[in-house]
Amino acid sequence: MILVVGATGLVGSDVCLRLAKRGKPVRALVRVTSDKSKVEALRAAGVELCFGDLKEPASLALACRGASAIVSTASSTLSRAAGDSIETVDAAGQLNLVEAAKAAQVDRFVFVSFRQPKGMSFPVAEAKAHVESAIAEMNFTIIQASWFMEVWLGPHLGFDYGNATARIYGPGTSPISWVSSGDVAEMCVLALENPAAARRTIEFGGPEQLSPLEVIARFEKIGGKPFKVEHLPEEGLRAQFAAATDSMQKSFAALMLGYLYGDAIEMGPIQKEFGIKLTSVDEYARQVLGVR
């Protein structure tokens, strides 16, 4: 039985469906407050539901019982649930899960982390680092994902492809290995299947290294519409980072600076080793713009 934590989230729900499609026994940790349509989609796919919360250690003990592996994709960064924060979910909650896994003698642990901007310390990065350290004695796989297309190239963070407007953090000239959430989900599944992923940290991005301005050019070409671009200067982002007192605000300010600095990963070796096809920015653009 594979326990998926974060099972109604962007990556976790996809992990559940991919495992179920492969005929693997899957148990999803969901909350009573979780989106009912997402929960029903998991149930319809044959996923076993277990109600609990990272903030409730007793529920984690039940969820881990009988599990052979855990995939944790949970994070508070995209959550709007009451009581969720970096401190309660990404830090204490994930560590609660690690302790429950160890107590239940579940040794295999796949953890979705992210690529941290070099030389920067901020709350969500510190939380992820603590979890990575906590699972170091287990049979772990840590997937350090680059900037998600669905998040950073989406309207919630100012990349409004529907209205052809884009907010760019800094000059927009540093290349990033934009990655699809679906590819991260597939890598989680492959990590469980392939022994080469055991006891390993995998830096994971998309197939191309494109600057934000190059991404906009791709969207303009595919959509046939010029973008109106707004640049947020580095000085303003640094001031925002320095002034932030809330852990979530400070973390997002830091991630915006990381976007500004760029994050280029050569993914050829990982693609070859695990046989994974990665989604390009062009494919993502055609999908969200509805262009074939």
Over residues 237-269, the pLDDT tens digits come to 999 999 999 999 999 999 999 999 999 999 999
- DSSP string for residues in 189-215: HHHHH-GGGTTEEEEE--S--B-HHHH
pLDDT given at position 239:
95
Beta-ladder partners of 3? 27, 70
Residue 62: pLDDT over 70 = yes
List beta partners, residue 179: 148
Assign 163 to helix, strand or coil. Answer: helix
Where in 146-280 does DSSP place strands (E)?
159-160, 165-169, 200-204, 228-232
DSSP string, 30-73: E-TTS-HHHHHHHHHTTPEEEE--TT-HHHHHHHHTT-SEEEE-
Residue 57 to residue 96: CA distance in whole angstroms: 6
Residues 211/149, Cβ–Cβ less than 8 Å: no
Q: Who wins on pLDDT, 34 or 112?
A: 112
Distance from C-alpha of 119 to C-alpha of 292, rounded to nearest angstrom: 41
pLDDT at 119: 78
Instruction: Quickly state the pLDDT bin for 61 (edges 50, 70, 90).
Output: very high
CB distance 277 to 271 below 8 Å: yes
pLDDT for the residue numbered 89: 92
Confidence at residue 257, expressed as pLDDT on a 0 to 100 scale: 94
- Reply yes or no on whether the pLDDT at 118 is more than 90: no
| pLDDT tier for residue 116 given thresholds of 50, 70 and 90 | confident
pLDDT digits (tens, 9 = 90+) for 127-171: 999 999 999 999 999 999 999 999 999 999 999 999 999 999 999
Query: What spatial distance separates the first Cα and last Cα of the chain, rounded to whole Å?
Result: 39
- Contact in structure between 109 and 72 (CB atoms under 8 Å): yes
142 strand-pairing partners: 111, 201
Output the CA angle 183-124-53, nearest 5 degrees.
Answer: 75
Say if residue 80's pLDDT is above 80: no
Q: Is pTM beyond 0.85 here?
A: yes
Dihedrals phi, psi of 245, to nearest 5 degrees: -110, -20
Q: Is the pLDDT confidence value at 81 over 80?
A: no
Which one is predicted more confidently, 47 or 83?
47
pLDDT of 292 reads 84
Q: Which residues contact 163 (CB under 8 A, 6 or more apart)?
A: none
CA–CA separation, 21 vs 151, rounded Å?
Answer: 26
The whole-angstrom separation of Cα 85 and Cα 128 is 13
- For residue 64 the two structure tokens come to 């881990």
The rounded Cα 53 to chain-centroid distance in angstroms is: 19
